[in-house]
Structure 1
Amino acid sequence: MTATASHLLFLPYPAYGHMMPVLPVLAELVARGHRVTCFATDDFADRVRATGAQVHPYDPPPSADPPPGVIDADECARAPLKLLNASLAVLPTIEACLDGPPDVVVYDTTLWLTGRLLAARWQRPSIQLSPTFVSNDHFNLSDQQQEYAGQIDRSHPALAEFATRLTEAVTGSGLPEERQVELFHGREEFTIAFLPREFQFAGETFDERHVFVGPTGQADDGPGWRPPPDGRNVLLVSLGTTVNNQPDFFRDCVRAFANLPWHVVIALGARVDPAELGELPPNVEAHRWVPLRSVLAHASVFLCQSGMGSVMQALHAGVPMVVVPHHPEQHVNARRLTDLGLARVVQRDEASVEALRDAVSVVAADAAMRDRVHRMRGHVRAAGGAARAADAVERQLRAALEGVA
Structure 2
Amino acid sequence: MARAGFAHEPFADAPPELIGPVMGSLPSLEFEEADEVVIREVFARIDAQAALPGLLEVVERWQPDLVLRETAELGSLAAAERGGVPHAQVCIGMHEVLPRFAESIGEPLAELGHLAGLDEDRLGPAMDGETVLSLVPEVLDRASGTEQGGAGFLRFHEPTTVADAPHVPVWGDPEVPLVYVTFGSVTGSLPPFAGVFRAALDALADTEARVLMTVGRKVDPATLGALPPNARVEQWWPQDAALGEAAAMLGHGGFGTTMGALAAGVPQVVVPLFTFDQIVNGEHVQAVGAGLTVERGPASVEPAAAQVRRLLAELEFAVCARQVAAAMADLPRPADAVPVLTGLAG
TM category, shorter: 0.7 to 0.9
The Cα of 1:264 is off from its aligned counterpart by 0.7
Judged with a 3 Å threshold, the aligned counterparts in structure 2 of structure 1 residues 60 and 248 are, in CA distance, closer, same or farther, namely closer
Q: Does 1:362 align with 2:315?
A: no
Q: Deviations over 1:184-242 (max 9, x none)?
A: 22332111123223222457642121112244547799744254573110011110122
- RMSD over equivalenced CA pairs, Å: 3.3
Which structure 2 residue ranges, 5 or more long, are not aligned?
none
Query: Which residues of 2 match residues 4-403 of structure 1 at below 5 A?
Result: 48-60=1-13, 68=26, 71-73=31-33, 76-77=36-37, 79-82=39-42, 83-97=44-58, 99-112=61-74, 114-135=75-96, 140-142=99-101, 162=108, 165-166=111-112, 168-169=114-115, 172-173=117-118, 181-185=121-125, 186-201=127-142, 205-215=148-158, 217=160, 223-228=166-171, 230-244=174-188, 245=190, 246-258=193-205, 260-326=207-273, 327-347=275-295, 348=297, 350-351=299-300, 353=302, 355-397=303-345, 400=346
Q: Specify the SS of the correspondent of 1:211.
A: strand
Contact 1:232 1:263 in 2 (8 A): yes
Contact 1:217 1:386 in 2 (8 A): no
Runs of 4+ in 1 over 6 A off after TM superposition: 62-67, 218-222
The amino acid across from 1:274 in the alignment is P
The Cα of 1:127 is off from its aligned counterpart by 0.9
Q: Distance in 1 between matches of 2:162 and 2:79?
A: 32
Judged with a 3 Å threshold, the aligned counterparts in structure 2 of structure 1 residues 225 and 288 are, in CA distance, closer, same or farther, namely same
Q: Specify the SS of the correspondent of 1:264.
A: strand
User: Which TM-score applies when normalising by structure 1?
Assistant: 0.70
Q: Distance in 1 between matches of 2:106 and 2:301?
A: 41
Q: Specify the SS of the correspondent of 2:77.
A: helix
The Cα of 1:61 is off from its aligned counterpart by 5.3
Judged with a 3 Å threshold, the aligned counterparts in structure 2 of structure 1 residues 123 and 209 are, in CA distance, closer, same or farther, namely same
User: Which TM-score applies when normalising by structure 2?
Assistant: 0.81
Q: Specify the SS of the correspondent of 1:140.
A: helix
Which structure 1 residue ranges, 5 or more long, are not aligned?
1-47, 147-151, 153-158, 401-405
Contact 1:211 1:392 in 2 (8 A): no
Contact 1:215 1:385 in 2 (8 A): yes
Equivalenced residues, count: 328
Q: Which moved more, 1:255-264 or 1:266-275?
A: 255-264
Q: Specify the SS of the correspondent of 2:195.
A: helix
